[in-house]
Amino acid sequence: MTKISRYFVPKFSWLALPFAAVFFLFFVIPLFLTIIVSFWDYNDYSIIPDLIFENYVYIFEGCFQFDADLCMTFKTYLSTLYFCLLTWGLTLFVGFFVAYFLAFYVKTIPIQIVLFLICTIPFWTSNVIRMVSWIPLLGRHGLINDTLIFLGIIDAPVEWFLYSEFSVILALVHLYTLFMIVPIFNSMIRIDKSIIEGAYDAGASEIQILTNIIIPLCKPGIVIGSIFVVTVVMGDFVTIGIMGGQQLASIGKIINTEMNYLQLPGAAANAVILLFITIIIIITMTKFIDIRKEL
Amino acid sequence: MHRTGSRGFYFFLIFFVLFALFLYGPMFSIILLSFQGPNGGLTFPMNGFSFHWFGELWKGAGVVDIGSAFRRSLLLGFVVMILTVVLSVAAGLAFRKQFRGAELLFLMTIASLIVPSIVLSLGVALEFRLLDETIKWFGGRFEIEKINYEFQTTLGMFTSGMGTQLTWTLPFGLLIMFAVFNRFDKSYEEAARDLGATQWQTIREVVLPIIAPSIVGIGLFGFTLSYDELARSSQVMGATNTLPLELRGLTTTVTTPIIYALGTITTLFSFVVIGTFFLIFWLLSRSRSKVLR
Amino acid sequence: MGNKFSRRDTLKFGLGATLGATTALYAPAVLSSDAPVIRYLGTAVNMGDEIEKKLFEDTGIKVQYISKTTDEVTKSVLTQPNSFDIVDSEYFSLPKLVPSGNILGMDTTRIKEWDNVTSIFTKGMTPSGKKVGLQGTAPSKVMYLTGATSGKFADEATQYATLIPTVYNADTLGIRPDLIDAPVTSWADLMRPEFKGKAATLNIPSIGIMDAAMVVEAMGEYTYPDKGNMTKAEIDLTMKIFTEAKKAGHFRAFWSDFNESVNLMASGEVVIQSMWSPAITAVKAQGKPCVYQPLKEGYRAWAAGFALPKTTKGKQADVVYEFINWYLSGWVGAYLNRQGYYSAVLSTAKEYMSENEWGFWMEGKPAAEDILSPSGAKLGSVGEVRDGGSYEDRMGGVACWNATMDENKYMVRKWNEMVAA
């Protein structure tokens, strides 16, 4: 902060008030209720005010017997983290280079906006419909399998295109790459063009410029994009559910099932743990790069 | 800077085109399958070719009223978009300087992304139910006729529904603002101030124009996220359903390509709207550049 | 559809529809005084716009549908009873709904056709007196309350019913006969090795485990005292068999939506799976052969009905009762029967169906002419017989009902464990 203070930055902290009010009303209070409820008892039809820890104990039941199989909770978290890590890596790779193309190769703002819109339009067809449409695309008798068979590349339909880890990752990358592109792009267009021009003139190659200038300078954008992707994948249950044929585990799915059976305190306890774990991941990420530095 | 003719350009252009193709992947099956005959289903092989399902869609979509759900979602999406832009730009400006509670607000914003949507949705539903009960108790206690006879619930699209969607769109808005103000060149503002501009003038005349493209981006994000939101909205819309909720209900009975026809129409409509928008923009900027010259 | 029936009050309808369409959008239901509007919460299964239109023609009542999935309907009743005027819920949700006090007992004296409601609900037997299997949450076990607001089930008939029945059916496995060689006769066939990677079941644990129990019993592994209310040990045993099959890749997918089950079957991803009757109809409508295979162990049945939340009172309640009476008066019954469901009051529905239709859907007779769905799609040709036969045969062959178990919590946990395995 010291470096900036010689600049003039007006203080408008009150401008954050409406923002904070929305979060107070629609996030803090409900979250508070959720945390309270996670200590309540419940039966089939109602939740009973109480102060018990059973909901938490129940989640970790059998998790600390090291001679037995991994318990359900740990297995589920491992599976969730696995999806999270793979999706993160892939969206980062794809998102970074798409943003790179948009920021450094596309010259005018209108064309940048057009290309962004082109990337956004598929998302205006409801996800409910798009999820259904993966089946005719990837299925046993789907468009891709049929095309590959027609071209003689394969003899029999490939089964793992659908209802597999592959299809889950594919759908997640499809959904969330845009969440990576936008912040990275915004970081990139803030990079002072003269630095890059200078490096060019000094004879630096594109790869050198990329690794020595651009990547370091858009780290905040990368971290912000990573926060988006990691958080939404950690809580996902729709995509992993549908694309995994409901046979792959994710913590969001467990919470969803519990909610459907009105086991609210159990679901609340799971949500609190999920929140806790994800916050640790995010804090670790921001440990490396303070995204609010140099604001 | 990077020359458009360079090898790198074509390499990344191909990369981008492949990415776009990937994004449109599911759209291919949606568009193809929407042109099936009257006996068509939601999967391949195609059952004939016709415009039957577009006709059906035009007639009113069968089971549930997709038209009004679509209008509701569109309206909600626009309101959420505007609020997201205004609130996150305002908060973004505030966050440029340290203030009391900034850390806490930031953590809250992040946490809001993390809390599973369904849990938050239920939390909000519980909150509003408490509010309803309070209002009813109040009505009974003081015998307020209007409450006792007419009041039903405070849950609604533009109360609980909108608020809950904002907890989803605002974190995105704010974090994008961070990416924007990060490395924001303050010398422009310095210059403006040296020339005697007030704080507001500086924001209006200098800061906002510079960040305008990013604001468009936030708006786009806000709208898209709200328009397609399902999990968070599920418990808080009261007696009205948004389009995704309606479609979700619809998929419990409808198995005809009518929903694909809807997807095709949406896509086509989006392209037309955006195309028109850019034609106007292009014509305007052309005439403006003439004037400047 | 609908054209067949008299179009009286066309003018009123046209005018009212315009008014209704403009006011129903944002105005809270009771505030619009022109046409009474009721907010109808339920699954989309029973929400046809034909029903909506016909209702308005006949009674001037306008419905505003709030369609949700089965589980979400239950959740809405428990967490936001203010948001609807009438709910269409399944009987197996009742052990959750009734004790919550959020729904009222339905006054049967206000239901005109109450005495004609099929005996499956009131006595637990078919019209001809055949005993129906009562394992699980059978409607006849949870039909009555001790009082309007008592929150307790009554052992014998009282004035107050929990739900006024609307629709029900007997479920079994659906198969693609064109993709299967050997005949399927038993629930155990779901686990036949040749169906590896081509079988599916439900992702709704409480129903999925019932199917699993039918399979386990058919395989001769165990005989349950009550499949609808298993002990922990029984749950362990049932889930163990399913978990092993799942790990071995026996199931292509678990489906949660009606529409998913249709897509799985129509696309050939799956050739045998647990299915609902209209899903079969939907697959057939796409020109793919599909059979709702009767199995020797019998059917798993379900039923749904109407209830009022405790917040619907006075004039609004009158409108809702009028709606229910209209619903049972036959037109809707015929509409439901034509989709392969069963209506609660058979005598009234019969009046609205042709002799051929009634014979095909209810009496197990071969079709004398083509059988059409409510939307006009051809479901059966001349000479075809309904899978499973007559109402008596199908409902009489019910082995168990969808249920809420005492060990629900444990069951859900075991289901999650299977998914994680």
Q: CA gyration radius for chain B?
A: 24
Considering CB atoms only, which of B25, B107, B176 is closest to A183? B176
CB pairs under 8 A between A and B: 346
Residues near C392 by beta carbon (within 8 Å), at least 6 away in sequence: C126, C127, C128, C130
Q: Does any domain span residue B287?
A: no
List pLDDT tens digits, range A192-219: 888 888 888 888 888 888 888 889 888 8
Please indicate whether residue A133 or residue C358 has the higher confidence score (pLDDT): C358
Interchain contact C376–B (C-beta under 8 A): no
Interchain contact B113–A (C-beta under 8 A): yes
In chain C, the residue whose alpha carbon lies closest to the alpha carbon of A60 is C413
List pLDDT tens digits, range C233-268: 999 999 999 999 999 999 999 988 788 888 899 888
The fraction of chain C above a pLDDT of 90, given in percent, is 43
Q: How many domains does chain C have?
A: 2
The CATH number of residue B139's host domain is 1.10.3720.10
Give the span between the Cα atoms of C421 and C414, in whole angstroms. 10
Q: Do A174 and B23 touch (CB under 8 A)?
A: yes
For the beta carbon of residue A73, count every other beta carbon within 10 angstroms: 22
The CATH number of residue C187's host domain is 3.40.190.10
B102 in the same domain as B14 = no
pLDDT at B50 over 50: yes
C252 in the same domain as C287 = yes
Q: Does any domain span residue B286?
A: no
C286 in the same domain as C195 = yes
- The string of DSSP codes covering B203-221 is IIIIIHHHHHHHHHHHHHH
Q: Does any domain span residue B46?
A: yes
CB pairs under 8 A between B and C: 125
C179 in the same domain as C153 = no
To the nearest whole Å, the CA of C154 is away from the closest chain B CA by: 30
B1 in the same domain as B90 = no
What is the reported pLDDT for C12? 32
- Is C198:C184 a contact under the CB 8 Å cutoff? no
Structure-block tokens of residue B6: 């360079």
- The string of DSSP codes covering A120-179 is HGGGGS-HHHHHHHHHHHHSTTSHHHHHHHHTTS-SS--GGGSSSHHHHHHHHHHHHHHH
B258 in the same domain as B211 = no
Q: Do B42 and C64 touch (CB under 8 A)?
A: no
Q: Return the partners of chain A (3 or more C-beta pairs < 8 Å).
A: B, C
Give the span between the Cα atoms of A259 and A257, in whole angstroms. 5
Q: Does any domain span residue B32?
A: yes
What is the reported pLDDT for B60? 64
Give the span between the Cα atoms of B232 and B255, in whole angstroms. 25
Phi and psi of C42, rounded to 5°?
Answer: 180, -175
C324 in the same domain as C308 = yes
List pLDDT tens digits, range C149-174: 888 888 888 999 999 999 999 999 99
Give the span between the Cα atoms of C392 and B271, in whole angstroms. 56
The alpha carbon of C141 is separated from its chain's Cα centroid by a whole number of angstroms, namely 17
Q: Does any domain span residue C333?
A: no
Give the span between the Cα atoms of B196 and B208, in whole angstroms. 18
Residue C153: DSSP 8-state = B
**Helix axes of C314-327 and C49-59: crossing angle, nearest 10 degrees:** 110
C292 in the same domain as C240 = yes
Task: Give which of A26, A35, A187 to mutate to test B binding, by max B Cβ within 10 Å.
Answer: A26
- Per-residue pLDDT, averaged over B10-37, amounts to 90
- Per-residue pLDDT, averaged over B69-84, amounts to 91
Give the span between the Cα atoms of B278 and B271, in whole angstroms. 10
Give the span between the Cα atoms of A252 and A235, in whole angstroms. 5
B237 in the same domain as B262 = no
Chain B positions touching C310 (Cβ under 8 A) are none
For the beta carbon of residue B188, count every other beta carbon within 10 angstroms: 15
- Per-residue pLDDT, averaged over A34-48, amounts to 82
List pLDDT tens digits, range B53-73: 888 777 765 545 677 888 888
pLDDT confidence bin for A189, thresholds 50/70/90: confident
Interchain contact C229–A (C-beta under 8 A): no
Q: Does any domain span residue B172?
A: yes
What is the reported pLDDT for B252? 66
B178 in the same domain as B143 = yes
pLDDT at C418 over 60: yes
Q: Return the partners of chain B (3 or more C-beta pairs < 8 Å).
A: A, C
For the beta carbon of residue B24, count every other beta carbon within 10 angstroms: 16
List pLDDT tens digits, range B217-257: 888 888 988 988 887 887 788 777 788 888 877 776 677 78
Which residues in chain B belong to E strands, given as ranges? none
What is the reported pLDDT for B212? 81
List pLDDT tens digits, range A76-110: 999 999 999 999 999 999 999 999 999 888 878 77
To the nearest whole Å, the CA of A253 is away from the closest chain C CA by: 9
The alpha carbon of B118 is separated from its chain's Cα centroid by a whole number of angstroms, namely 18
C312 in the same domain as C284 = no
pLDDT confidence bin for A8, thresholds 50/70/90: low
Interchain contact B230–A (C-beta under 8 A): yes
Task: Report which residue type is found at C280.
Answer: I
- Per-residue pLDDT, averaged over B191-210, amounts to 84
- Which of A:186-215 have CB within 8 Å of B? 186-187, 189-193, 196-197, 200, 206
Give the span between the Cα atoms of C347 and C334, in whole angstroms. 10
- Which of B:154-173 have CB within 8 Å of A? 160, 163-164, 166-167, 170, 172
Closest CA to A255 of A45, A28, A55: A55
CB pairs under 8 A between A and C: 93
B153 in the same domain as B258 = no
Q: Do B62 and C66 touch (CB under 8 A)?
A: no
- Is A241:A3 a contact under the CB 8 Å cutoff? no
Q: Do C78 and A257 touch (CB under 8 A)?
A: no
Q: Residue B54's domain spans which residues?
A: 1-62+254-278
Averaging pLDDT over each range in A69-73, A88-92, B189-193, which range is the top one? A88-92
Bridge partners of C47, per DSSP, are: none
B229 in the same domain as B95 = yes
Interchain contact B216–A (C-beta under 8 A): yes
B75 in the same domain as B48 = no
- The string of DSSP codes covering B25-89 is HHHHHHHHHHT--TT--SSSSP----SHHHHHHHHT-TTS-HHHHHHHHHHHHHHHHHHHHHHHH
Residue A7: DSSP 8-state = S
C131 in the same domain as C150 = yes
What is the reported pLDDT for A295? 42
For the beta carbon of residue C20, count every other beta carbon within 10 angstroms: 22
Q: Strand C144-145 vs strand C378-380: parallel, antiparallel, or unpaired?
A: unpaired
Average pLDDT, chain C: 84
HSE-CB for B39 with a 13 A CA cutoff: 15
Termini Cα distance of chain C: 48
pLDDT at A4 over 50: no
What length does chain B have? Answer: 293
B8 in the same domain as B153 = no
Structure-block tokens of residue B96: 């440029």
Give the span between the Cα atoms of B198 and C149, in whole angstroms. 67
pLDDT confidence bin for B104, thresholds 50/70/90: confident
Considering CB atoms only, which of A44, A58, A139 is closest to C267? A139
B240 in the same domain as B206 = yes
Q: Does any domain span residue B12?
A: yes
Residues near C72 by beta carbon (within 8 Å), at least 6 away in sequence: A260, B234, B235
Please indicate whether residue B286 or residue B260 has the higher confidence score (pLDDT): B260
- Is B139:B147 a contact under the CB 8 Å cutoff? yes
- Is A3:A15 a contact under the CB 8 Å cutoff? no
Structure-block tokens of residue C177: 């006969």
For the beta carbon of residue A266, count every other beta carbon within 10 angstroms: 26
Q: Residue C266's domain spans which residues?
A: 171-298+397-420
List pLDDT tens digits, range C354-383: 999 999 999 999 999 998 887 777 888 899
Cis peptide before A136 (omega within 30 of 0): no
- Per-residue pLDDT, averaged over C278-291, amounts to 86
Q: How many domains does chain B have?
A: 2
What is the reported pLDDT for C9? 33
- Per-residue pLDDT, averaged over A37-50, amounts to 81
Give the span between the Cα atoms of B250 and C68, in whole angstroms. 9
- Per-residue pLDDT, averaged over C71-100, amounts to 85
Please indicate whether residue C386 or residue C375 has the higher confidence score (pLDDT): C386
- Is C337:C349 a contact under the CB 8 Å cutoff? yes
A64-288 carries CATH number 1.10.3720.10: yes
For the beta carbon of residue B3, count every other beta carbon within 10 angstroms: 9
pLDDT at C20 over 50: no
Interchain contact C203–A (C-beta under 8 A): yes
